[in-house]
């Protein structure tokens, strides 16, 4: 009871409607790394609680970025008019509802969702539990099947199966972990005990990140961490700080590359690049991603204005894959694995611009306010969108919507009071 009382006071939860919405949002965040079905139900619960609060309290808190979310959804919805595969298009629009639901939730509830650190820590703890769950299941599988210890650090198994216990793609799992690791750097710790606990969480999630061996996100983590340390060390020690950071980076890189799972993963990338027979590269290969991008660009040359429609993207890409004999792309019906291209293919130049605009608008806001952790989130989304279709999956679009809306500044002057009884 004391914990709940503390949460209520820190988050200004004054009414039963505030508390209902806040609990529903916590459930969305806590269930996010786990079951997609349960997470979807909690999102419905959050939307319902927000609607009830809107009806009772009649207040909406406005922000221009909400309009951009609605715009992306509307553009995607309009692309159904020239979509042939309506079943696929309908499924895509269903996933896109997060772009509509979460802005509405924050429009109604922004004043009680300002304790961002608490909500980020909640996501961090939920992710830690998810990591431990996967690691324990993996350990049980290895032990019960008498699998040699040397396979415990094999990149192929870990990359494709470690996160599959939660039906969580390794790249998206890695994305959450990198955001969590960055968040822990910016947290303020009130006691030595809390420092120890968060350090343990950091180590476990970092190890899990290495086991998942997502090349793009490991590289982003290394580069961003280097920039942060260089900035901090230079401000404190000047040239000596740069030298110390460089030495630490070189040593850390050598240690990381000596770990089998990391060494195998990056060695595979090297072999792909120097291979004479690039058609033999496996799923997730660097060369395969290039083939997806080339196929998408070829389609856009003939559909540069409207795209092909949100439901026809995979069908059109598959035709291109057949032309270049890209068997993995044909068998697995790959999308563009690039959100910029995916948005362009789905809803044309307006889809591409609207997605780019939302990242630029929010990022610019944080540059002006010098909110570096929030800027980090925008940057990692912009970077991740080069390698994955971020808002085309449940895991991606929910994380994209919640975190970007959560970190937006709150202007309590822009309040719209609604009068349901007003008549013309």
Predicted pLDDT of residue 413: 53
278 half-sphere exposure, CB direction, 13 A CA radius: 15
| Angle made by CA atoms 186, 192, 194, in degrees to the nearest 5 | 60
Predicted pLDDT of residue 14: 82
Whole-prediction pTM value?
A: 0.92
Q: What is the pLDDT of residues 202-222, one digit of tens each?
A: 999 999 998 888 888 988 998
For the chain, the domains span: 115-274
User: Do 266 and 311 touch, CB atoms closer than 8 A?
Assistant: no
In Å, the largest CA–CA distance within the chain is 77
Structure tokens at 290: 């290039």
Interatomic CA distance for residues 155 and 245, integer angstroms: 29
Predicted pLDDT of residue 424: 46
Q: Which residues, in sequence order, are CB contacts of 194 under 8 Å at separation 6+?
A: none
* Helix 215-237 with 170-186: angle, nearest 10 deg: 10
Structure tokens at 302: 């003939």
List, in sequence order, every residue forming a beta bridge with 417; answer none if it has no partner: 59
Q: What is the pLDDT of residues 317-376, one digit of tens each?
A: 999 999 988 888 888 888 999 999 999 999 999 999 999 999 999 999 888 888 888 999
Q: Where do the H-state alpha helices sit in 213-285?
A: 215-237, 239-258, 260-274
Interatomic CA distance for residues 346 and 313, integer angstroms: 6
Element (H, E) at 415: strand 415-417
Place of tokens 């009806």: 55
Predicted pLDDT of residue 1: 55
Structure tokens at 284: 């997730």
Structure tokens at 291: 């083939």
Q: Which residues, in sequence order, are CB contacts of 380 under 8 Å at separation 6+?
A: 175, 178, 179, 182, 220, 224
Identify the three-state secondary structure at position 59.
strand
Predicted pLDDT of residue 61: 87
Any idea what DSSP says for residue 61? E
* Tens digits of pLDDT across the chain (424 residues): 566 776 776 777 888 998 999 999 999 999 999 989 999 999 999 999 999 999 998 888 888 889 999 999 999 999 999 999 999 999 999 999 999 999 999 999 888 788 888 899 999 999 999 999 999 998 888 888 888 777 777 777 787 788 888 989 999 999 999 999 998 887 776 677 888 888 999 999 999 998 888 888 988 998 888 888 787 777 777 788 778 878 877 887 777 777 777 777 777 777 776 666 655 545 456 778 888 999 999 999 999 999 999 999 999 999 999 998 888 888 888 899 999 999 999 999 999 999 999 999 999 988 888 888 899 999 999 999 999 999 999 999 999 999 999 988 776 557 666 766 654 4
**What percentage of the chain carries pLDDT values higher than 70?**
92
Predicted pLDDT of residue 279: 54
Predicted pLDDT of residue 283: 46
Interatomic CA distance for residues 27 and 8, integer angstroms: 16
Q: Which residues, in sequence order, are CB contacts of 267 under 8 Å at separation 6+?
A: none
User: Do 337 and 387 touch, CB atoms closer than 8 A?
Assistant: yes
Place of tokens 């009772």: 56
Mean pLDDT of the chain: 86
User: Do 311 and 348 touch, CB atoms closer than 8 A?
Assistant: no
Interatomic CA distance for residues 103 and 109, integer angstroms: 10
């Amino acid at each position: 009871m004391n914990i709940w009382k503390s949460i209520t006071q820190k988050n200004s939860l004054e009414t039963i409607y505030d508390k209902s919405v806040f609990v529903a949002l916590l459930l969305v965040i806590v269930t996010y790394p786990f079951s997609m079905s349960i997470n979807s139900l909690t999102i419905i619960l959050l939307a319902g609680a927000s609607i009830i609060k809107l009806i009772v309290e009649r207040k909406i808190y406005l922000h221009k970025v909400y309009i951009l979310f609605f715009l992306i959804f509307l553009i995607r919805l309009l692309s159904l008019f020239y979509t042939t595969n309506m079943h696929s298009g309908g499924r895509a629009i269903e996933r896109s509802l997060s772009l509509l639901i979460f802005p509405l939730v924050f429009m109604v509830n922004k004043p009680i969702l300002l304790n961002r650190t608490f909500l980020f820590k909640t996501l961090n703890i939920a992710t830690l539990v998810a990591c431990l769950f996967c690691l324990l299941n993996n350990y049980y599988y290895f032990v019960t099947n008498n699998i040699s210890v040397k396979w415990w650090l094999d990149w192929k198994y870990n990359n494709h199966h470690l996160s599959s216990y939660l039906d969580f793609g390794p790249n998206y799992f890695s994305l959450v972990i990198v955001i969590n690791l960055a968040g822990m750097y910016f947290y303020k710790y009130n006691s030595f005990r809390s420092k120890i606990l968060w350090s343990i969480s950091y180590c476990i999630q970092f190890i899990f990140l290495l086991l998942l061996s997502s090349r793009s996100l490991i590289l982003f983590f290394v580069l961003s961490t280097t920039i942060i340390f260089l900035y901090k060390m230079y401000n404190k020690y000047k040239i000596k700080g740069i030298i110390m950071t460089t030495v630490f980076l070189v040593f850390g890189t050598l240690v990381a590359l000596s770990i089998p799972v990391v060494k195998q993963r990056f060695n595979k990338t090297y072999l792909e690049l120097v291979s004479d027979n690039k058609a033999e590269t496996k799923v997730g290969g660097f060369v395969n991603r290039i083939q997806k991008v080339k196929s998408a660009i070829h389609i856009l040359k003939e559909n540069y204005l409207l795209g092909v429609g949100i439901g026809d993207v995979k069908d059109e890409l598959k035709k291109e894959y057949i032309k270049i004999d890209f068997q993995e792309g044909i068998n697995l019906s790959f999308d563009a694995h690039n959100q910029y291209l995916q948005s362009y293919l789905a809803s044309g130049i307006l889809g591409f611009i609207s997605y780019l605009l939302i990242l630029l608008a929010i990022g610019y806001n944080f540059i002006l306010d010098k909110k570096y952790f929030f800027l980090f989130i925008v940057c990692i989304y912009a970077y991740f969108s080069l390698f994955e279709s971020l808002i085309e999956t449940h895991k991606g679009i929910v994380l994209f919507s919640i975190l970007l809306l959560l970190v937006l500044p709150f202007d309590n002057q822009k309040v719209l009071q609604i009068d349901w009884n007003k008549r013309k």
